[in-house]
């Protein structure tokens, strides 16, 4: 079914502007028949943040920004879906064009700038699908014109906690000017204190909603020391490493598109994101689990993320180039790795290579 859909749609989608192709894909997912997916092999199950994931492969934030198709995505075989980024008020984002495919590199540059239908529209959809279950995380961000960005996060957590499996505090998008400053020590400490307070305030209605922090791969290691220290002190439930990068590796072949402003994702992000994941893992010292993403485009790349310290993974860009078959390919490779290494569960290989990765030379920028 997926294969047929893709063979029919792929040639068309690649002739379209990336944002139009994305819009069409979301429309097709809305129309997809609600077939029940095959059950996952039990060895792929992960328990993290006190949640049960049937498999560890998640749809990253940014694909379903407005919470339109989380159930269709779960049915495609994802173990979890992160919707958003959702902002309190609707906002249009940056002028188009604002998404670019770097075909030769397997990369994407986007400067969408939190185009969002706003909290009310997403809340209505998420409340309606809540009985369906499944792990659906909600990624929240501040409005561009907000006078008090921290207050935006607090407001969003209070609203969304009752319908969220977990909430992600996204302070790492490069496309809202100044947003990444919320990763600086004092601002982050204040933000996380208030966000965790907000979660506690609604615990009676919403239960103990896990709060995750999504960071940029462009932090310095000194900044990462601070971020991890604050995340641990404020007792967040996990971190996501990470968002898109502002850097442009010298290896990029599509040098024209590489000049576009915005965040780079996909294969060229893999070395930096995986290094930052390992650096985060050694600093976290098992205080909480990590979600690893950035450039996963094969089973081997997925496996490397677990070995660098991820308990769960997410992906987005590679789906544009490799299609939905990649989800099954990754799951098959993870099972094959468990068999090769005679391990009972993925947890047994999480972080196995983290120290070695941090000892390598810094990935070429």
Ligand X SMILES: Cc1cc2nc3c(=O)[nH]c(=O)nc-3n(C[C@H](O)[C@H](O)[C@H](O)COP(=O)(O)O)c2cc1C
In whole angstroms, the minimum distance from the beta carbon of 318 to ligand X comes to: 6
- In the annotation, is 251 catalytic? no
In whole angstroms, the minimum distance from the beta carbon of 294 to ligand X comes to: 4
Catalytic-role residue among 173, 265, 311, 317: 173
355/161 Cα distance (integer angstroms): 35
Among residues 333, 286, 344, 315, which one has the least CA distance to residue 48?
286
In whole angstroms, the minimum distance from the beta carbon of 331 to ligand X comes to: 16
In whole angstroms, the minimum distance from the beta carbon of 304 to ligand X comes to: 13
- Judged by the rule CB under 6 A, the positions of this chain that interact with ligand X are 60-62, 65, 84-85, 99, 108, 110, 112, 139, 170, 173, 214, 243-244, 265-266, 269, 293-296, 315-318
Q: Tokens for 1?
A: 């079914």
Among residues 237, 185, 243, 178, which one has the least CA distance to residue 215?
243
In whole angstroms, the minimum distance from the beta carbon of 354 to ligand X comes to: 19
Give the residue nearest to ligand X (CB): 62
Angle, helices 149-160/119-129, rounded to nearest 10 degrees: 20
Among residues 158, 153, 168, 162, which one has the least CA distance to residue 127?
162
Q: Is the dihedral of CA 184, 187, 189, 192 positive or negative?
A: negative
The 8-class DSSP code of residue 362 comes to: P
Q: Which is nearer to ligand X, 319 or 338 (CB)?
A: 319
Q: Which is nearer to ligand X, 145 or 285 (CB)?
A: 145
Q: Which is nearer to ligand X, 203 or 261 (CB)?
A: 261
219/86 Cα distance (integer angstroms): 23
Q: Which is nearer to ligand X, 62 or 79 (CB)?
A: 62
Write the CB contacts of 62 (distance below 8 Å, at least 6 apart in sequence): 84, 85, 110, 112, 316
Q: Which is nearer to ligand X, 97 or 133 (CB)?
A: 97
So which residues are the catalytic ones? 173
């Amino acid at each position: 079914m997926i294969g047929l859909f893709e063979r029919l749609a792929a040639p068309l989608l690649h002739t379209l502007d990336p944002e139009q192709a994305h819009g069409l894909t979301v429309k097709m997912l809305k129309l997809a028949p609600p077939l029940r997916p095959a059950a996952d092999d039990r060895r792929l199950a992960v328990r993290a943040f006190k949640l049960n994931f049937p498999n560890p492969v998640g749809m990253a934030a940014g694909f379903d920004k407005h919470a339109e198709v989380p159930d269709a995505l779960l049915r495609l075989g994802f173990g979890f879906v992160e919707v958003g980024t959702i902002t309190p008020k609707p906002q249009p984002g940056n002028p188009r064009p604002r998404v670019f495919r770097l075909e030769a590199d397997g990369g994407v540059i986007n400067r969408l700038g939190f185009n969002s239908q706003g909290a009310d529209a997403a809340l209505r959809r998420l409340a309606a699908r809540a009985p369906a279950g499944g792990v659906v995380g909600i990624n929240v961000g501040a409005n561009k014109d907000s006078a008090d960005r921290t207050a935006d996060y607090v407001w969003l957590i209070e609203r969304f906690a009752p319908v969220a499996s977990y909430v992600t505090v996204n302070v790492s998008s490069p496309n809202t000017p100044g947003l990444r400053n919320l990763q600086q020590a004092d601002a982050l400490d204040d933000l996380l204190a208030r966000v965790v307070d907000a979660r506690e305030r609604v615990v009676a209605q919403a239960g103990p909603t896990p709060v995750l922090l999504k960071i940029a791969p462009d932090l310095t290691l000194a900044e990462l020391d601070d971020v991890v220290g604050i995340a641990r002190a404020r007792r967040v439930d996990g971190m996501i490493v990470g968002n898109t990068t502002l850097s442009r590796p010298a290896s990029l072949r599509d040098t024209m598109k590489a000049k576009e402003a915005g965040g780079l994702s996909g294969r060229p992000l893999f070395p930096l994101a995986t290094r930052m994941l390992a650096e985060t893992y050694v600093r976290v010292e098992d205080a909480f689990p990590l979600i690893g993403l950035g450039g996963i485009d094969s089973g081997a790349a997925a496996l490397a993320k677990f070995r660098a310290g991820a308990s769960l993974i997410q992906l987005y860009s590679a789906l544009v180039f490799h299609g939905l078959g990649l989800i099954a390919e990754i799951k098959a490779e993870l099972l094959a790795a468990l068999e090769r290494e005679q391990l009972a569960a993925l947890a047994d290989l999480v972080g196995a290579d983290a120290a070695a990765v941090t000892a390598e030379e810094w990935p070429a920028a």
